[in-house]
Structure 1
């Protein structure tokens, strides 16, 4: 081979190698390489669900708690899965070992990490609720719209068949006029959080990286890992943690979006002196034209409406359809319609949701996603309206066009306050 031909061929091969490396996940026969940010709790469940899908590899783990991070790396190694270890999520996003990321961090991190991920050219599976404020949700929508990457939200019930069947029945009109929709979460296993003193940051925990944009506070175990859900700095309590699941189906069933008004009442009625900030008991009413949607939650007890600890009920003139993760049924008004016996769930919603995410990436089709960013943002915003009504103690009116309330005090809660040098993303 002549020297000039050798150089030409070598150059072409090198260029081809670079192209294949950077575009490997776009080929049908190449693995989808996944990195997990936030390896505890639901993030770990999400990773295990996506690893069940054909052609998926885990290549990276990231967490600010090295104790949990090393535990997960060891568990994967025992399954002969070798991954690269990261403390800083931005370093993971810069890695060419990752095509898609799962974000399983506390709520107050979701916006920054999701926006950074799509801007780094990664597909994203982000846990619900997608943001910790209404403005964060809007920013995340804008970032996803500017990207060709898939963004799936962890509303995994949208991939379960029995939920689809139940909503189709609601849409059939057989229930008659629906005047009230109830959604609820009565969580008996959520006990009181005893007050604990602040303490030294545990060895291996990068606490500043955990706080991120949240207010600077001494380390307290009550605010760390799972319990972050009960503090306004990081999350919105059961109203957003479970509300985004059940209220999502309330809105889908009624084919509505923005309420006319929102009002809420509740408090720390079960555990008035414990460490949590968010209400352990809450009733929220969303007003629509011709019907209301009502949210209820209660920590520490399980006997919710229809003797179910979670669910959504469409209450019509002819009968009531009751739906939850276990299945659905129709309870008739006497003489007005036939009952529908309990239709049990027969599939794994999380596994199917991850399959849907992988398929959308392979097809390069955002419309294939069962829970796109628009759906996740909409229900997160809706749930946050309930919290804002509770925190102001007022009946609030939402201006859909201006994307704000008519009340100035309520509008102070539209945007999360960022601290420690962090700023809301600009897209």
Structure 2
């Protein structure tokens, strides 16, 4: 099977695989009805080890008809638990074989291999649950976001903390004006993961691992356990660092609360840039010209704790990851915590009445959307811009700050930053 894919041939190939015939000018979307509300979805899970374990379990109420993984050993516990689905190593062969039977796919692969299976599935009109960040580059993310809208596909980004009730309460407090007009937000993730050691040895590829397929569209390099099966997250060729790992979870809070979409300016500072490995810390500043506060918002993202900020405002940082600075006060929160400052001012404060309903379950939201109900809460029109912003932070760290033209995907006069908006694929994996 050739790896090479073109947008024209992709539509033709996937239509053929799904048993579809298109008239001239017809939209290449699925031509059969969505499942009824009581019918189980036919789902393929791509990547069933690691994070994929939780995602498979999340949709096990449905009819999982295929499981795809390049690593037999890492996938073994899931395959043992679910012995009935057909097994594949190559998702392209799975789509060719079962495409006409599928309703949806769940993709839990490393960042560098999000785009290719997701784009094939979307061209086939299949609904998509995709791990965060949405893709490896900003351009890939925009393409998938647009595809979902064009095809009318039910999507969900794996930012599952969006369903936590405390997150809803934070949004309600901010939008009800509990701390006045917000102008500045600080979000962070603690820790110093990144900059793994450069491999000095060349161990053999483990049996049961199709390493060439694992590399997929990325630049080829010899196998090493420092990036496969998990350490990939901290190598630029494969991952997006701790910012990509946690940014979509944490920045979901201010994004939702303030109605943010695309920044107009991105700047970043941190340790010396390494061309292969992600950093152990960074500080990104995003400027947003538009928000639901009817004013500009400055959003700070840190890989590392904002100790000075917490001391300045006498905030107990335990369980916190976000601080909103308002004209009347401060709201500090985490996924499960919420506290207003100054404490004495808010001693008798009455929380606004809840307006955001509890989630029926993050996976259930998506399953219901696949059946024609309302869109899931982290559908790509919402989570696409969020993912783009997270990835833009990495671009600014690696290449310096820039003014961001979201419509044109342009980084102003910063040519180095522009080169990171879309990176080249390995020969045979091109999308043209």
Q: Would you say same fold, with TM above 0.5?
A: yes
Q: Deviations over 1:73-131 (max 9, x none)?
A: 11224xxxx22111111222231453221100011111111110122332210111011
**Is residue 184 of structure 1 aligned with residue 184 of structure 2?**
no
C-alpha deviation, 1:198, in angstroms? 2.6
Residue equivalent to 1:138: 142
**Is residue 404 of structure 1 aligned with residue 410 of structure 2?**
yes
Structure 2 CA distance, aligned partners of 1:92 and 1:403? 33
Q: Which has the larger radius of gyration?
A: 1
Would the alpha carbon gap of residues 400 and 337 (structure 1) be closer, same or farther in structure 2, given more than 3 Å must change?
farther
Structure 2 CA distance, aligned partners of 1:310 and 1:222? 31
Alignment of 1:47-196 (within 5 A): 47-51=56-60, 53=61, 56-77=62-83, 82-94=84-96, 95=98, 96-187=100-191, 190=193, 193-196=196-199
C-alpha deviation, 1:199, in angstroms? 1.8
Would the alpha carbon gap of residues 167 and 223 (structure 1) be closer, same or farther in structure 2, given more than 3 Å must change?
same
Number of residue pairs matched? Answer: 384
SS in 2 for 1:285: strand
Moved over 3 A (4+): 22-25, 190-196, 288-291, 303-306, 333-341
Structure 2 CA distance, aligned partners of 1:72 and 1:401? 42
SS in 1 for 2:239: coil
Would the alpha carbon gap of residues 179 and 25 (structure 1) be closer, same or farther in structure 2, given more than 3 Å must change?
closer
Structure 1 CA distance, aligned partners of 2:422 and 2:318? 35
Q: Deviations over 1:142-172 (max 9, x none)?
A: 2222323312111222223221221011011
Alignment partner for residue 325 of structure 1, among 335, 355, 361? 335
C-alpha deviation, 1:405, in angstroms? 1.0
Q: Which consecutive residues of structure 1, in runs of 5 or more, have no partner in the other structure?
A: 1-17, 342-346
Cα RMSD of the aligned pairs, angstroms, is 3.1
Alignment of 1:21-40 (within 5 A): 26-40=35-49
**Is residue 297 of structure 1 aligned with residue 306 of structure 2?**
no
Residue equivalent to 1:3: none
Structure 2 CA distance, aligned partners of 1:237 and 1:306? 27
**Is residue 421 of structure 1 aligned with residue 428 of structure 2?**
yes
Is the 8 Å Cα contact of residues 216 and 420 (structure 1) preserved in structure 2? no
Q: Which consecutive residues of structure 2, in runs of 5 or more, have no partner in the other structure?
A: 1-18, 21-30, 290-295, 352-356
Would the alpha carbon gap of residues 97 and 306 (structure 1) be closer, same or farther in structure 2, given more than 3 Å must change?
farther
Is the 8 Å Cα contact of residues 44 and 106 (structure 2) preserved in structure 1? yes
Q: TM-score, with normalisation over the residues of structure 1?
A: 0.81
C-alpha deviation, 1:177, in angstroms? 2.6
Structure 2 CA distance, aligned partners of 1:75 and 1:268? 45
Would the alpha carbon gap of residues 310 and 75 (structure 1) be closer, same or farther in structure 2, given more than 3 Å must change?
farther
SS in 2 for 1:222: coil
Structure 1 CA distance, aligned partners of 2:420 and 2:50? 28
Structure 2 CA distance, aligned partners of 1:115 and 1:127? 14
Structure 1 CA distance, aligned partners of 2:263 and 2:194? 32
Residue equivalent to 2:4: none
Is the 8 Å Cα contact of residues 130 and 156 (structure 2) preserved in structure 1? yes
Structure with the higher helix share, 1 or 2 = 1
Would the alpha carbon gap of residues 174 and 211 (structure 1) be closer, same or farther in structure 2, given more than 3 Å must change?
same
Residue equivalent to 2:243: 239
C-alpha deviation, 1:280, in angstroms? 0.7
* Worse overlay, 399-408 or 329-338: 329-338
Structure 2 CA distance, aligned partners of 1:192 and 1:139? 30
Is the 8 Å Cα contact of residues 187 and 309 (structure 1) preserved in structure 2? no
C-alpha deviation, 1:422, in angstroms? 0.9
Residue equivalent to 1:219: 223
Is the 8 Å Cα contact of residues 240 and 383 (structure 1) preserved in structure 2? yes
SS in 2 for 1:202: coil
**Is residue 230 of structure 1 aligned with residue 230 of structure 2?**
no
Is the 8 Å Cα contact of residues 132 and 416 (structure 1) preserved in structure 2? no
SS in 2 for 1:158: helix
Is the 8 Å Cα contact of residues 195 and 277 (structure 2) preserved in structure 1? no
**Is residue 381 of structure 1 aligned with residue 388 of structure 2?**
yes
* Worse overlay, 280-289 or 224-233: 280-289
Is the 8 Å Cα contact of residues 43 and 104 (structure 1) preserved in structure 2? yes
Residue equivalent to 1:259: 263
Is the 8 Å Cα contact of residues 106 and 128 (structure 2) preserved in structure 1? yes
Would the alpha carbon gap of residues 98 and 411 (structure 1) be closer, same or farther in structure 2, given more than 3 Å must change?
same
Is the 8 Å Cα contact of residues 198 and 221 (structure 1) preserved in structure 2? no
Structure 2 CA distance, aligned partners of 1:65 and 1:282? 33
Is the 8 Å Cα contact of residues 128 and 376 (structure 1) preserved in structure 2? no
Structure 2 CA distance, aligned partners of 1:400 and 1:198? 42
Q: TM-score, with normalisation over the residues of structure 2?
A: 0.81
Would the alpha carbon gap of residues 147 and 24 (structure 1) be closer, same or farther in structure 2, given more than 3 Å must change?
closer
Is the 8 Å Cα contact of residues 93 and 122 (structure 1) preserved in structure 2? no
